[in-house]
Amino acid sequence: MRFLIILSVLLLTGCITPPVKRNFPDVPKELMEKCPELKETENTESLSKVLTVIVDNYSEYHKCKIKVDSWADWYKSQKEIFESVK
């Protein structure tokens, strides 16, 4: 009788195991790259050389901002899609 109960429980467990598998969406690999460190200026008296580095750093900031914004968009969109499946 005990074995019968155990067997029934096993069978019922098999019945209730959901076979539908759901994969977590992948993030575009471009967004997975880390933002680089800011460049440092060499020791110089030339303002133009310093400005060159500053311009590069500003540019890196903008790229990094785009990346963070893209992550936020990605999360928002994927969450909406995920929650639409019930």
Partner 1 sequence: MNSFLMSFVPIEWITTAIHSIFIFGVVGLIVGSFASKIPVINAYGTIIKAIAGILLIFGLFAEGYNYASKDWITKSKEYEEKIRIAEEKSGKVNEVIKHVFVDKVKVVETERVVIQEKLKDVSVKIDSQCKITTDTVDILNQAARGKK
How far CA 38 is from CA of 50, 79, 85, in Å, comes to 13, 32, 42
Give the footprint of partner 1 on residues 4-63 (CB under 8 A): 11, 14-15, 18-20, 22-23, 25-28, 30-31, 38-48, 50-57, 59, 62-63
Our finding on whether 3 is near partner 1 (CB under 8 A) is no
Candidates 40, 38, 37, 28; CA nearest to 70 is 28
- What are the residues binding partner 1 (CB under 8 A)? 11, 14-15, 18-20, 22-23, 25-28, 30-31, 38-48, 50-57, 59, 62-63, 66-67, 70, 73-74, 77-78, 81-82, 84-86
